[in-house]
């Protein structure tokens, strides 16, 4: 495993981080028990992963808590999150702090390393900054968490307008954002500012349905060509990303997806999710491989660098926020 420093926090984190949400939710999305999900976390720790991202509405906090029992608390870095809206209504300060306290209980920990406001929409950013952040920073002073962070709602804010504001505020020390081969907005509009400000960067949406569901990539490409968002002379419409897989290049499209984001300047942690312990090694191996060939990266930038709102599908089996 390779490790890096998470922005200005000083935390040493594995460059591969286990995301405990998404469609898999450590396997709980497919019916695994809390104890079975905890086994996935333990296996990841055996492979050198020390960063684990969960959230109240993932339903996996207890699994992470069970997994880290018996290990030194400072050997793992844990982030968890609370949404700030339920059914369109903003949560109060007391409700947010109540969620934080419940997360600590679920994780069976005295503190979390990073506490984040989850999926903040642009329209709610001022509320997050002016109403929620100040009292949360007081909870930080009590030792309930070490660093405050914020995450975007990628499908609802594909141009990342909320985070472009948030990175200018010193209270947000860590941010989670969407970035992948066909969703490169952050390359020009966020990463340089995050590096300048020392904001720790966590990537989500690196491998979504567009790269893993058979036929979806081809259909998406065809639709983009029809709309005029992509040229109609792509080298191979039936295998639009096939140019990435070759001797000296990627081993597969998924391998390319992880390697493309991992070596982007400004990226700290690449989050990946799985409910299958056997898949952990393959995902980690891809994240740890060298950068894609320069020519392949240049082609990805040229073809897809201006696209927005592509491949930002919401997880389809996430528990409903309460």
How confident is the model at residue 238, as a pLDDT? 80
Lowest model confidence (mean pLDDT) among 47-51, 140-144, 194-198, 208-212: 208-212
What's the CATH code, domain 3-213+253-292?
3.20.20.100
How confident is the model at residue 232, as a pLDDT? 79
How confident is the model at residue 235, as a pLDDT? 65
Residue 112 backbone phi and psi in degrees, to 5: -115, 155
Hey, which residues does 51 pair with through a beta bridge? Answer: 77
Give 232 or 306, the one with higher predicted confidence.
306
Cα–chain-centroid distance for residue 13? 14
Helix (H) or strand (E) holding 99: helix 93-107
Question: How far apart, in whole angstroms, are the C-alpha atoms of residue 185 and residue 196?
Answer: 17
* pLDDT cut 90: percent of the chain above it: 89
Closest Cα to residue 242, out of 167, 296, 320?
296
Across the range 52-58, mean pLDDT stands at: 96
* DSSP string of 125-152, one letter each residue: HHHIIIIIHHHHHHHHHTTSEEEEEEEE
Residues 289-301 pLDDT 10s: 999 999 999 999 9
Across the range 77-102, mean pLDDT stands at: 97
How confident is the model at residue 309, as a pLDDT? 93
Across the range 29-33, mean pLDDT stands at: 93
* Averaged pLDDT score across all residues of the chain: 94
Lowest model confidence (mean pLDDT) among 21-30, 42-51, 100-109: 21-30
Question: How far apart, in whole angstroms, are the C-alpha atoms of residue 79 and residue 81?
Answer: 7
How confident is the model at residue 68, as a pLDDT? 96
The pairing of strands 174-178 and 145-152 is parallel
How confident is the model at residue 146, as a pLDDT? 98
Domain ranges of the chain: 3-213+253-292
Residues 103-119 pLDDT 10s: 999 999 999 999 999 99
Give 233 or 205, the one with higher predicted confidence.
205
How confident is residue 100, by pLDDT bands cut at 50, 70 and 90? very high
pLDDT at 320 over 60: no
What tokens appear for 296 in the block? 């392949």
Q: Using an 8 Å Cβ cutoff, are 80 and 61 in contact?
A: yes
What pTM does this model have? 0.94
How confident is residue 277, by pLDDT bands cut at 50, 70 and 90? confident
Helix (H) or strand (E) holding 17: strand 16-19
Please return the burial class of 226, using the count of CB atoms within 10 Å of its CB with bins 0-12, 13-18 and 19+: exposed
């Amino acid at each position: 495993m390779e490790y890096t420093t998470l922005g200005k926090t000083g935390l040493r984190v594995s460059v591969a981080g286990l995301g405990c949400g998404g469609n898999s939710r450590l396997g709980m999305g497919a019916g695994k028990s809390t104890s079975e999900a905890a086994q996935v976390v333990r296996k990841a720790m055996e492979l050198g992963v020390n960063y684990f991202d969960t959230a109240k509405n993932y339903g996996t906090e207890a699994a992470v808590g069970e997994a880290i029992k018996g290990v030194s608390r400072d050997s793992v870095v844990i982030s968890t999150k609370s949404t700030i809206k339920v059914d369109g209504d903003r949560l109060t300060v007391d409700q947010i702090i109540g969620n934080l306290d419940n997360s600590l209980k679920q994780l069976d920990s005295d503190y979390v390393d990073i506490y984040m406001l989850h999926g903040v929409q642009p329209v709610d950013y001022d509320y997050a900054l002016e109403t929620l952040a100040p009292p949360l920073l007081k909870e930080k002073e009590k030792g309930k968490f070490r660093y405050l962070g914020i995450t975007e709602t990628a499908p609802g804010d594909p141009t990342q307008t909320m985070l472009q504001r948030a990175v200018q505020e010193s209270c947000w020390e860590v941010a989670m954002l969407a970035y992948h081969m066909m969703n490169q907005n952050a390359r020009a509009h966020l990463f340089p500012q995050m590096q300048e400000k020392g904001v720790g960067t966590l990537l989500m949406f690196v491998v979504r349905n567009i790269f893993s569901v058979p036929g979806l990539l081809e259909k998406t490409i065809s639709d983009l060509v029809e709309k005029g968002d992509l040229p109609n002379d792509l080298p191979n419409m039936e295998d639009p990303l096939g140019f990435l897989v070759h001797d000296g290049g990627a081993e597969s499209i998924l391998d390319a997806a992880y390697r493309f984001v991992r070596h982007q300047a400004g990226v700290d942690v690449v989050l990946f999710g799985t409910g299958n312990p056997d898949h952990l090694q393959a995902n980690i191996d891809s994240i740890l491989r060298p950068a894609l060939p320069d020519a392949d990266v240049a082609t990805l930038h040229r073809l897809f660098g201006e696209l927005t709102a592509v491949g930002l599908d919401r997880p389809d089996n996430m528990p409903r926020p309460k």
